Chains A and B, each alone.
Chain A
Amino acid sequence: MINMYEVRETNEMIEKENLDVRTITLGISLLDCIDSDLNKLCDNIYKKITTLAKDLVSTGEEISHEFGIPIVNKRISVTPIALIGAAACKTPSDYVQIAKTLDKAAKAVGVNFLGGYSALVSKSMTAADRIFMESIPEALASTEFMCSSVNLGSSKTGINMDAVRLMGDIIKKTAEASDSMGCAKLVVFCNAPDDNPFMAGAFHGVTEGDSVINVGVSGPGVVKTALEKVHGESFEVLCETIKKTAFKVTRVGQLVAKEASKRLNVPFGIVDLSLAPTPAIGDSVADILCEMGLEYAGAPGTTAALALLNDQVKKGGVMASSYVGGLSGAFIPVSEDQGMIDAVEAGALTLEKLEAMTCVCSVGLDMIAIPGDTKATTISGIIADELAIGMINQKTTAVRVIPVIGKGVGESVEFGGLLGHAPIMPVNGFSCDEFVNRPGRIPAPIHSFKN
């Protein structure tokens, strides 16, 4: 039988170390909603989402109360809308109408976010994909709960540079249209997973079933507290401690996922083994790196420490869950992690170091505020660099940068809530115009002769 020590340990993790289940995400396929009549399509989408997800929020809250574990977000992901709207949408504003429908549906069922305003263009774009991408700035400016993502490359197809160039421009336009806030809900990917429960990149992949429950766990605070007890010990002890902690954290995610799946009568998909920070003090991935022995995240040794952390989290988590998927790794979103913010403000962490860190962890350059006058081609260059890391290393990488209109380096921006606040980081100002403006795509890499 469970003993008092174990009960106290679990409850302390929840009460003092910010252990929570970050999200229950209900994936919904909209493929059967497709219609060439836009109004009918929107009607189908609204009905399907509000029917399938009607009990999502109440069930999440029920589970949260019964087990005494906070479930911070309840979310929905849908089939990439570029596909769903292709038959009905002739102009970007047609897609915006779908965006507004999604937003209305999200509001009706009470979820925190709805993801899947997405396009998959890793090799090339259809005419509909292009119209869709052009609709993103207005779609994000005129909605509240909707998140957008675009997959621009993969290890199998290479990088679609035409789409990268377009997205550099779209990110700028989104910033201009939405007072920069829209960019916090827009992410571009290489090797985007079909079953990611985390925003802004969640969408319900076309290989998925009609509906699915995916769960994302959290727990940087728990790992940090566990490491405080092994100060100065060997790497073996360090790694074992992370592994054991990750196991415990993931077990909670698995329990919640199975329970939600049973109660909602929706198949269980995956648990995403992620250390997802929040701006709350003590809920920071950067703090874990500091606890390992770095003065600030960004100091020499950061990439190694992060690689170690990420790998041990996976090793501990994999055994705790029957199905693992999504992004699964340590997240390093700057604005959502107080330790990262401190590191940037101290001058310890730069964009280039963050790029290096993304080589060894998911998911990429995340929630980074950059000067509002950064050129679109420069943003495309940053995207191309980050996607190249994903393409060559066969991992997911992403870019969510936020050009802050009217502000420059040294100033900061407030996003509010889970999105936090961020100091604006300097961007390398040398031009990549000519490179980015070349048409076509970067070919898929060779998967042999590994070096």
Chain B
Amino acid sequence: MNKTIITVVGKDTVGIIAKVCTYLADNQINILDISQTIVQDFFNMMMVVDATKSPKKLGTIQEELDGIGKSIGVVIKCQQEDIFDSMHRI
């Protein structure tokens, strides 16, 4: 399975997780894992998701998530898991 990592970083505010999760649910993207912390008032979230059943292409998902991020003042990145796997796993 091709996993995708979504990271959300920015100033903490109400409803960040709700907005992102709603988008994912609307687009048939399944969440496999979530971790979230606040570091020095900054909201940090990482999600591992499975986007293979989504009708949308990764490029479109990236753009739309980026748009959502901008609307709530956070940076949302969406990357294939392979880059992290290659770098941190032998």
Contacts and interface: CB of A to CB of B under 8 A. Distances in A.
Contact of A4 (B37, B78, B80, B82): B37
A251 B87 CA distance: 5
Nearest to A14: B83
Count class of interface residues, chain B: 20 to 34
Interface in A54-95: 62, 65-69
B19 to A, nearest CB: 20
A10 B82 CA distance: 12
A11 B7 contact: yes
A259 B79 CA distance: 14
B54 interface: no
B21 interface: no
A248 interface: yes
Contacts of A11: 7, 77
Given A1-B33, A2-B5, A8-B44, A68 B85 contact: no
A7 B86 contact: no
B22 interface: no
B86 A6 contact: no
B53 interface: no
A6 B87 CA distance: 9
B37 A255 contact: no
Interface in A367-385: none
B88 A66 contact: no
Interface in A1-42: 1-4, 6-11
B62 A65 contact: yes
B59 A6 contact: no
A130 B73 CA distance: 62
Contacts of A251: 86-87
A8 B83 CA distance: 12
Contacts of B64: none
A254 interface: yes
A9 B87 CA distance: 10
B84 A66 contact: no
Nearest to B79: A68
Interface residues of A, number: 22
B23 to A, nearest CB: 18
Given A67-B83, A68-B83, A6 B62 contact: no
A4 B77 CA distance: 13
A68 B62 CA distance: 10
Interface in A255-271: 255, 259
Given A65-B62, A66-B58, A10 B77 contact: no
B87 A10 contact: yes
Interface in B57-90: 58-59, 62, 77-89
Of the listed residues B44, B81, B83, B84, the one surrounded by the most CB atoms of chain A closer than 10 A to its CB is B83
B46 A4 contact: yes
A252 B88 contact: no
A3 B79 contact: no
Given A65-B62, A252-B87, A7 B80 contact: no
A296 B81 CA distance: 40
Contact of A7 (B5, B37, B59, B89): B5
Nearest to A62: B59
Contacts of A68: 77-79, 83
B35 A3 contact: yes
B80 A67 contact: yes
Contacts of A2: 5, 48, 81, 84-85, 88-89
Contact of A255 (B35, B59, B86): B86
Contacts of A4: 35, 37, 44, 46
A3 to B, nearest CB: 7
A229 to B, nearest CB: 17
A226 to B, nearest CB: 13
Interface centre among A62, A251, A254 (most CB of B within 10 A): A251
Given A2-B88, A6-B88, A248-B87, A255 B62 contact: no
A67 B35 CA distance: 20
5 contacts: A8-B44, A11-B77, A65-B59, A67-B82, A252-B83
Interface of B: 5, 7, 33, 35, 37, 44, 46, 48, 58-59, 62, 77-89
Interface of A: 1-4, 6-11, 62, 65-69, 248, 251-252, 254-255, 259
Given A10-B84, A67-B79, 20 more contacts: A2-B5, A2-B81, A2-B89, A3-B46, A4-B35, A4-B46, A7-B46, A9-B88, A11-B77, A62-B59, A66-B80, A67-B82, A67-B83, A68-B83, A69-B83, A251-B86, A252-B87, A254-B86, A255-B82, A255-B83
